[in-house]
Amino acid sequence: MADPDLLRRLLRAKDRMDASSERDWPVARLARVSGVSEAHFARSFKAAFGLPPHRYLLSRRLERAKAMLRETDLPITAIAFQTGWKSLGTFGRTFRDVTGESPSRHRERERDRERELARVPACIAKAAERPDLTMAVSEKRRRSAPPIPPAKEGS
């Protein structure tokens, strides 16, 4: 993406979707937010962010739904409507197609995982989460950098 002005305008539309992923965001509205034509918006958005606008919005809705399933006791129907789906059936089918499990199974699995983690002593859990710093960051950078060519004589 070469045009920084266009990228800023696309980010404006992306930010709107992020802030209100439960709302309908037709390409026409997003294009207006970005100040470009619908076709140009759709092409440019995919080029900039790797996903078409509709699929990006779907991913945001699913992320939010997964967090709500994990962190709340809200009924699945309420989660479906709060995350932007118009019907429980569409939510459940889409969720299953993307994640491979139903929303209720996802909630159950996440809660089982939390219970299992609660049984692990805190010192062990924290040790497992620590970053691997067996060598200095500068040493890692030096090892991954391309070799420096030898200096030419007379330079």
Out of 25, 50, 75, a domain closes at 50
Range(s) of the domain holding residue 68:
62-141
- Position 154 in a domain: no
- Position 37 in a domain: yes
Radius of gyration of the chain (CA): 23
pLDDT at 27 over 70: yes
Write down the pLDDT at residue 123: 83
- Position 57 in a domain: no
Residue 31 and residue 67 in one domain: no
pLDDT at 102 over 80: yes
- Position 150 in a domain: no
- Position 40 in a domain: yes
Residue 39 and residue 83 in one domain: no
Write down the pLDDT at residue 24: 93
pLDDT at 59 over 80: yes
pLDDT at 145 over 90: no
Residue 127 and residue 70 in one domain: yes
Count of positions (residues) in the chain: 155
Residue 2 and residue 24 in one domain: yes
pLDDT at 1 over 90: no
pLDDT at 148 over 80: no
What is the chain's mean pLDDT, rounded?
88
Closest to 64 in 3D by CA, of 36, 108, 103: 103
Residue 73 and residue 126 in one domain: yes
Residue 125 and residue 78 in one domain: yes
3-class secondary structure per residue, 86-117: CCHHHHHHHHHHHHCCCHHHHHHHHHHHHHHH
Residue 1 and residue 67 in one domain: no
Q: How many domains does the structure of the chain reveal?
A: 2
pLDDT at 76 over 90: yes
- Position 147 in a domain: no
Residue 37 and residue 67 in one domain: no
* CA 150 distance to own-chain centroid: 44
pTM reported for the whole predicted model: 0.72
Residue 113 and residue 79 in one domain: yes
> Six-digit token pair at 146?
């391309």
Residue 11 and residue 43 in one domain: yes
- CA atoms within a 13 Å half-sphere pointing along the CA-CB vector of 99: 22
Give the rounded percent of residues in the chain with a pLDDT score beyond 90: 68
Residue 137 and residue 66 in one domain: yes
Tell me the pLDDT band of 120, cut-offs 50, 70 and 90.
confident
- Position 55 in a domain: no
Write down the pLDDT at residue 141: 65
Residue 115 and residue 67 in one domain: yes
Give the rounded percent of residues in the chain with a pLDDT score beyond 70: 88
3-class secondary structure per residue, 115-154: HHHHCCCHHHHHHHHCCCCCCCHHHHHHHHCCCCCCCCCC
pLDDT at 9 over 80: yes
